[in-house]
Amino acid sequence: MVVTTDLLLEGRHFRLDWSSGYEIGRKAAAQNLSDIVAMGATPTALFVGLGMPPHTTIDWLDALTDGFRDECALVGASVAGGDIARSDTIVLGVTALGDLAGIAPITRSGARPGDQVAIAGRLGYAAAGLALLSAGTATTRAGAGGARGETKGWVGGSFPVDSFEELLLAHRRPEPPYAQGPRAAALGATAMVDVSDGLVQDLGHIAAASGVGVVVEPAAFRVPAILVEAARYLGVDPLDWILTGGEDHALAAVFPPEVRLPPPWQVVGEIVQGQGVQVKGRAEAPGGWDHFRG
């Protein structure tokens, strides 16, 4: 068995005027289920601690639980219990369990020099969606804090939200590549992590736990057209979203050099002697999300 736990705080991980109750339920489940598959396990159950204000509506709660149900259904898991308390804001504490089926867990400490670093899943989409929302305004169909409504309106006042709906939805409801966690274990992954705080930041966890260095090759990334378009609108480099953006919950794994990786796995770097993460062509590796960084 493997276990993981995570927190989602209103105003820190989600906003009620940007995400519906259903989307928050999907997101809360996804970020915990992703941690389970990143250890090579199959998710089995979630336990949910919920703090909420007394004015929270039944409709919003129904939508939240529907979101948990639908995300869990993707991996055959379920919500097995939890607790509820009164809180000034909405707080979600989720604990997830997973079954290893007799195999050893994939940890962050197994990387060795010469191994290849690969990713599966989207990178940069959630960060781009957050940047777009932060740059403008948006409302929900059901009103602020809507239960089931999806975010609609205008961003930055110059184009419809529908232009970048895929990016906005990625921020509100990630799509982890669940099947690729156990598949990576079967392929012989030596270390793995889900990308929640940014690729460079999370590869840094593998580097520290394994006592190695990581070299990332920027040219290995295929930058999707929608990221290029959004970056042009905001005047930023889309590669920064890919390298440092969190909450897409892609998987980053390390494999022996002789393993031939099938799609959707994409090799983006290698393990070397040393420490930390180096991005080729950049004097200093960009950081990711850190709750306590100024």
Q: Match 């009164």 to its residue by tokens.
A: 86
- What number does CATH give the domain 2-99? 3.30.1330.10
The pLDDT score that the predictor gives to residue 293 is: 60
Q: What are the φ and ψ backbone dihedral angles of 125, each rounded to 5 degrees?
A: -65, -50
| Spans of all domains in the chain | 2-99, 106-140+148-287
The pLDDT score that the predictor gives to residue 282 is: 83
Annotated binding site: 4-6, 13, 35, 82-83, 108, 194, 196-197, 247, 289
- The structural architecture, per CATH, of the domain 106-140+148-287 is Alpha-Beta Complex (3.90)
Phi, psi (rounded to 5 degrees) for 118: -135, 160
Cα 271 versus chain centre, distance: 23
Digit-by-digit pLDDT tens for the chain (294 residues) are 999 999 999 998 999 999 999 999 999 999 999 999 999 999 999 999 999 999 999 999 999 999 999 999 999 999 999 999 999 999 999 999 999 999 999 999 999 999 999 999 999 999 999 999 998 844 443 333 445 655 444 444 455 556 799 999 999 999 999 999 999 999 999 999 999 999 999 999 999 999 999 999 999 999 999 999 999 999 999 999 999 998 999 999 999 999 999 999 999 999 999 999 999 988 665 665 555 565
List the one residue out of 142, 149, 121, 112 whose CA is nearest residue 23.
Answer: 149
Per-residue pLDDT at 156 = 47
Are domains 2-99 and 106-140+148-287 of this chain identical in fold? no
Binding residues for substrate: 13, 247, 289
Residues annotated within a binding site for ATP: 82-83, 108, 196
Q: For residue 24, how many C-alpha atoms fall within 13 Å in the half-sphere facing its CB? A: 33
Contact 139, 151 (CB under 8 A): yes
Instruction: List, in sequence order, every residue forming a beta bridge with 253; answer none if it has no partner.
Output: 118, 192
- Determine the pLDDT at residue 281: 87
Residues of the binding site for Mg(2+): 4-6, 35, 83, 194, 197
